[in-house]
Amino acid sequence: MTRAQLKQASKDQLRGNWGWAICLTIFAWLFNAVIMDINRWIWTGKDFTYSILRYNNEAIIQGYKPGYDLSTFIVGLITGLVLWGVAYTILDFIETGKKEPWYAGIFSAYSNGRFKNSLFTLFMTNLFITLWLFALVIPAFIKGYSYAMTPYVLKDKFSAGQTDIGATEAITESRKLMDGHKMDLFILDLSFIGWGLLGIITCGIGFIWIVPYYRQTKANFYRSLVANN
């Protein structure tokens, strides 16, 4: 499918379902924002608002504690699984038309026997990208696109009834699937720059619609990619 076809398919799927998609986006964001803010407050005594309005380099140094990095990494896994749960829910909606309630959808990576495999796979994905960052930023950026389909591959494995999934199995399949298609996804991402600017101009309000639209399009990109392979 062309980019125009992917976007049109997303619009067609979201027609009459925007309320559900928006709730999925907003409450996933709220949950992650609260978890990250709690972690920040525990270790620095400063909440998000203070960080935006008052933070400076001196405050960061004074508030820093050795355990903050580890805590932030763990929080990153918790919030990352929420985003993967949203990806699972959207892909299921594309395939079956079933709209899982948002309060269940954002935690779908934690339920139905998916937690262990999702956690280990996300951990390895983050680890690989971090290791690539130690090499160079550009290779890490490219690898990020290689691993971009990992949650969708993992969701398909769950749907196929697989339970014994290796921690790098979905990562490897994503890498193979994206071979020769990383630029396609990159250009698709670039095509949303105008929407992103609109979201910024509207003080973030526009992202309430833009984010669900982008996520739907990315899931359609995966499904189209699989259909061609």
Q: Which domain holds residue 16?
A: 3-227
Check pLDDT > 90 for residue 207: yes
Report the pLDDT value the prediction gives residue 136, as an integer from 0 to 100: 79
Report the pLDDT value the prediction gives residue 156, as an integer from 0 to 100: 95
Number of compact structural domains in the chain? 1
Check pLDDT > 50 for residue 124: yes
What gap in Å lies between CA 30 and CA 44, rounded to an integer?
A: 21
Confidence of residue 67 (pLDDT cuts 50, 70, 90): confident
Instruction: List the one residue out of 207, 216, 213, 120 whose CA is nearest residue 165.
Output: 120
- Considering only 7-16, 44-53, 187-196, which range has the smallest mean pLDDT? 44-53
**225 Cα distance to chain centroid:** 18
Residue in this structure with the two tokens 């980019």, named with its chain if needed:
3
Report the pLDDT value the prediction gives residue 69, as an integer from 0 to 100: 77
Nearest 5°: the CA angle 32, 35, 40 is: 120
Check pLDDT > 50 for residue 57: no
In this predicted model, what pLDDT tens digit does every residue of 15-29 receive, in sequence order?
A: 999 999 999 999 999
What percentage of the chain reaches a pLDDT higher than 90? 68
In this predicted model, what pLDDT tens digit does every residue of 80-98 receive, in sequence order?
A: 999 999 999 999 999 988 8
Report the pLDDT value the prediction gives residue 68, as an integer from 0 to 100: 73
Check pLDDT > 80 for residue 72: yes
- Considering only 82-86, 134-138, 194-198, which range has the smallest mean pLDDT? 134-138
In one-letter notation, the amino acid at residue 64 is: Y
Report the pLDDT value the prediction gives residue 49, as an integer from 0 to 100: 56
Confidence of residue 47 (pLDDT cuts 50, 70, 90): low
pLDDT averaged over the chain? 88
In this predicted model, what pLDDT tens digit does every residue of 174-194 receive, in sequence order?
A: 999 999 999 999 999 999 999
Check pLDDT > 50 for residue 59: no
Report the pLDDT value the prediction gives residue 58, as an integer from 0 to 100: 45
Indicate the pTM of the whole model: 0.89
